[in-house]
Structure 1
Amino acid sequence: MLAMDDDIIKGRVWERCEETVKLRMISDVPLGIFLSGGLDSSSILAAM
């Protein structure tokens, strides 16, 4: 297993998150988001 710097790993995870959100935002109707206050919904909003 390759050793990777924490910053590199964080960057790759964030890039994947952004890519995934962008793919899901393709719509012909207005989009919205419900925030629970948790880390997951806050991260998705930040990626939007």
Structure 2
Amino acid sequence: MEVIDAEYERLTFYFIAEKRIDLRELVRELFRLYKTRIWMASLQGAGGYEQ
């Protein structure tokens, strides 16, 4: 996975990945660290970023 960008209002991580990955554990860890809602946004797929 390669993180492309992040925002902090609600902490949003934009990423690209070669295959589908389970992000549940990562989201839990990020919530414990930042104490805010975590959004993971893939830039691939319909209308997204393709490398």
TM, length-normalised to structure 1 = 0.32
Larger Cα-atom Rg: 1
Instruction: Please state which structure has a larger fraction of its residues in strand.
Output: 2
TM, length-normalised to structure 2 = 0.31
